Amino acid sequence: MKTFDAMVGVSGGVDSSVAALLLQRQGLRIAGLFMQNWDDNGDGECRAEDDRRDAVAICGKLGIPFFARNFAREYWAGVFEHFLAEYRAGRTPNPDVLCNREIKFRTFLDEARALGAEKIATGHYARVDHHQGRYRLLRAIDQGKDQTYFLHALGQEALAATLFPVGELPKAQVRDLARDAGFAVHAKKDSTGICFIGERDFREFLGHYIPARPGPIRAVDGVTLGEHAGVFYYTVGQREGLHLGGVKGRPQAPWFVVGKDVAANVLYVDQGHDSPYLLSTQLHASGPSFTAGHPPGMRFACTAKTRYRQPDETCVVTVQDDGTLHVQFEHPQRAVTPGQSVVFYDGEECLGGAVIDHTDAPDAAQFR
């Protein structure tokens, strides 16, 4: 029996709070559900208790029922174990994509239905419409806040059951609505990064699960320049944290990570923001997921991005016989990183994406 029109995933932040406000103003019967996805053992780094109190306060102000569920076990099995496996393999995973698919739009959806809700709603900046017999994932009105990159793995069932109320508004208006409604969270800082890491040092956190193993930092010509703290801690294109400074006999130019040899425990670097070792015109990706349930064709033109804040780039995607994807870009792309997602667009519609396996950038480990 339907008890609620929508169950709002309330996080204690301004976006989910305004999402609930907007749905209530539309006359929908709503409730709020707070998801705890990580057990922080009381260290408070994820601010879970503070966020929970804010979520309770918002639901109280709106006069709607409040529910809370702990999905930490599901998060560990569905997201965190994969996160660790990818780092052990020398890749750089994007846990937010998995979290959305496995937790926020599957586990949460199942729980919402069990509580009698017809749909779920979140504070994500995205839109959904129904066009020619299928649901489409569309970019948010506020292009600077658009989150479709992280939502690209959602399929038809999830899109059909999801509302994104703030996707129609610019962020500034969302904060204005929260302030006018008297929400104490109207000026609350946006959450960034991965919740289970919080404000902790990333290397220290990861070191609890993958012990650090220092090794050599080498230039692409094979010359050893210094020592790294552990190849798992670095990602392609990274400049910070190398501690190389001026290197005798080398130009006074910054160094960037251009490759990792996990088996040999070697980190490779090169100078220049646009080093040829950082530029790719092609990539191979696996585990594709398309919002329509299938690709637009076995070969199709679109635009794509290989990281969240990156502008779209024109490309051609070819579906291989084994279901993996080959992507050919019109212009070289910088620091395309295995483990991250390549996400495809047709105008305002997000078509889906896949996990980057490798690119055609030169192999920085060729001198080993």
Taking the C-alpha atoms of residue 98 and residue 38, their distance in angstroms, rounded to an integer, is 14
pLDDT given at position 243: 86
Nearest by Cα to 353 from 302, 279, 282, 310:
302
pLDDT greater than 70 at residue 162: yes
CATH number at residue 247: 2.30.30.280
Residue 321 lies in a domain: yes
pLDDT greater than 70 at residue 346: yes
> Do residue 301 and residue 260 come from a single domain?
no
> Do residue 142 and residue 166 come from a single domain?
yes
Residue 317 lies in a domain: yes
Q: Domain containing 262: what range?
A: 212-271
Q: Backbone phi, then psi, for 148, in 5-degree steps?
A: -65, -25
Cβ neighbours of residue 269 closer than 8 Å, sequence gap 6 or more:
217, 218, 219, 220, 225, 242, 244, 255, 256, 257, 258
Residue 15 lies in a domain: yes
Residue 203 lies in a domain: no
CATH number at residue 330: 2.40.30.10
CATH number at residue 67: 3.40.50.620
pLDDT given at position 207: 86
Single residue among 271, 303, 320 that ends a domain in this structure: 271
According to DSSP, the β-strands at 4-9 and 30-36 are parallel
Residue 199 lies in a domain: no
Taking the C-alpha atoms of residue 310 and residue 111, their distance in angstroms, rounded to an integer, is 34
Please provide the DSSP assignment of 103-120 as one string: IIIIIHHHHHHHTTEEEE
Radius of gyration of the chain (CA): 22
> Do residue 49 and residue 95 come from a single domain?
yes
Q: How confident is the model over 149-162, as a mean pLDDT?
A: 97
Q: How many CA atoms lie within 13 A of 188 on its CB side?
A: 24
Residue 201 lies in a domain: no
pLDDT tens for 39-66 read 765 454 557 788 999 999 999 999 999 9
Question: With contact defined as beta carbons under 8 Å apart, do 210 and 88 qualify?
Answer: yes
Residue 230 lies in a domain: yes
pLDDT tens for 296-333 read 999 999 999 999 999 999 999 999 999 999 999 999 99
pLDDT tens for 238-265 read 999 898 877 777 888 899 999 999 999 9
pLDDT given at position 196: 60
The chain-wide mean pLDDT, for the chain, equals 92
pLDDT given at position 37: 85
> Do residue 36 and residue 158 come from a single domain?
yes
> Do residue 265 and residue 127 come from a single domain?
no
What's the first-to-final CA gap in the chain, in angstroms?
Answer: 64
> Do residue 108 and residue 148 come from a single domain?
yes
Residue 301 lies in a domain: yes
> Do residue 156 and residue 249 come from a single domain?
no
Q: How many separate domains does the chain show?
A: 3
> Do residue 147 and residue 36 come from a single domain?
yes
Amino acid code (one letter) for 3:
T
pLDDT band per the 50, 70, 90 thresholds, residue 270: very high
> Do residue 155 and residue 94 come from a single domain?
yes
Cβ neighbours of residue 121 closer than 8 Å, sequence gap 6 or more:
6, 7, 8, 9, 19, 20, 23, 30, 162, 163, 164, 165
pLDDT given at position 368: 53
pLDDT band per the 50, 70, 90 thresholds, residue 84: very high
pLDDT given at position 44: 46
> Do residue 27 and residue 144 come from a single domain?
yes
> Do residue 71 and residue 159 come from a single domain?
yes
Taking the C-alpha atoms of residue 72 and residue 35, their distance in angstroms, rounded to an integer, is 9
Single residue among 251, 271, 291 that ends a domain in this structure: 271
> Do residue 224 and residue 154 come from a single domain?
no
> Catalytic residue positions?
99, 195
pLDDT given at position 208: 87
Question: With contact defined as beta carbons under 8 Å apart, do 288 and 257 qualify?
Answer: no
